[in-house]
Structure 1
Amino acid sequence: MANVQYYDVILKPVITEKSMNIMADKKYTFLVHPEANKAMIKEAVEKMFDGVKVAKVNTMNCEGKTKRRGMTFGKTAKTKKAIVQLTEDSKDIEIFAGL
């Protein structure tokens, strides 16, 4: 893997109705770098947000959707999502506060 720093691992939070519902269980969903592994995601979350301890990380690779423009077909980019579960004594992540 080509020298990915911890601030390059997490691309953006995923804000959907389902991801908002699981925040009550201290689970947060992020769009991450496609080549990041679970250890890198855990380290990035703990470094980026103060007072946060990660219990476990679940990842999923999402295939690109097939799109059509006229008679030509193409695919959108592949993505990778991570669901990060925090420990019980951990602080909440502030970027999701007020949503």
Structure 2
Amino acid sequence: MSTLKFDEGRLMQVLVQPIVSEKATAVAEKHNQVLFKVLRDATKPEIKAAVELMFKVEVDAVQVVNQKGKVKRFGRTIGRRDNVKKAYVSLKEGQELNFSGEAA
């Protein structure tokens, strides 16, 4: 594992939350990938190390998407949602990730 060069406290904060949606479920089934919302300054090696540390799985690759926040109106005022960074984490063949906390 490549967690030696990263601070473990930082790795625990990199993954903000898993993304559970219809699109995420379809991607998970088709490409064996899992989606996470991550910190905006997180790097691909950090994301890989964090997933391997927290879920005890082997990660094959990581792709990231920077999603711009939508402009929304609240009555008269115009606001903006925060920008979000998403990580598409590809797991190695035969690896499975479950969020229930039990060992597979």
TM-score range, shorter chain: 0.7 to 0.9
- Matched with 2:36 is 30
Q: Distance in 2 between matches of 1:63 and 1:74?
A: 13
**TM-score normalised to the size of structure 2?**
0.82
- Gaps (5+ residues) in structure 1? none
CA deviations 1:4-35 (Å, max 9, x no partner) are 70010001010111110121231000000000
Partner in structure 2 of residue 16 of structure 1: 21
Using structure 1 for the length normalisation, give the TM-score: 0.86
Q: Which residue of 2 aligns with 1:40?
A: 46
Matches of 2:16 and 2:43, distance apart in 1: 14
Q: Which runs of 5+ in 2 are unaligned?
A: 1-6
- Find runs of 4+ consecutive structure 1 residues off by over 2 angstroms: none
Q: 1:32 & 1:81 partners in 2: Cα distance?
A: 6
Identical columns (%) = 35
For 1:43, give the aligned amino acid.
A
Q: How much is the aligned-residue C-alpha RMSD, in angstroms?
A: 1.8
1:94 and 2:87 are equivalent in the alignment: no
Which residue among 64, 77, 80 is the counterpart of 1:59?
Answer: 64
Distance 2:24 2:75 in 1: 34
